[in-house]
Amino acid sequence: MAKYKIYYKLCHANGALVDEAWSEPLLFEIGDGQLDPCLERCVLEAKPGELQTFLLSASEAFGDSFDEAFQVMQRDDFPDDLKIELDAAVEFKTPTGDSYVGCIDSIEVDDIRVNFNHPLAGTDVSFQVKVLEIS
């Protein structure tokens, strides 16, 4: 499988930086989980050696935000030592051992609303990439 060495910047459509590998390039293989598949598709389309910008709608990028992915949980469902605060990412384990990360969306006394959508769901993004090397 081919390995890619790239520089990249991922930004909200409003320009706010989300993630980057600009001072030190990222080395990865397609499908290894380091980049989301929507960003891997951009890398595959990019011309090596050229800085390119891909504007992705929410549906092309990380998907739409779904109301069903918000869940109200009780404070007792959280570990006692966990500091519960807005926008905090919390990892939850299912009885089968799978892990899911949710972000705390609101806090109402004992009711904690958790958003299990991807953190960039419902967001248009800009992905700037320069493919340095393919091996």
Q: What is the pTM of this model?
A: 0.77
pLDDT at 19 over 90: yes
Which of 66, 100, 106, 72 lies closest to 87 in space, CA to CA? 106
Q: Please report the domains of the chain, with CATH numbers, ordered by start residue.
A: 3-63+121-134 (3.10.50.40), 67-115 (2.40.10.330)
Cα 37 to the center of its chain, rounded Å: 11
> CB neighbours (10 Å) of residue 10?
22
| 84-134: pLDDT as tens digits | 999 888 888 888 988 888 999 999 989 999 999 998 999 999 999 999 999
| 59-87: pLDDT as tens digits | 999 999 999 999 999 998 888 888 899 98
Strand partners, 19: 10
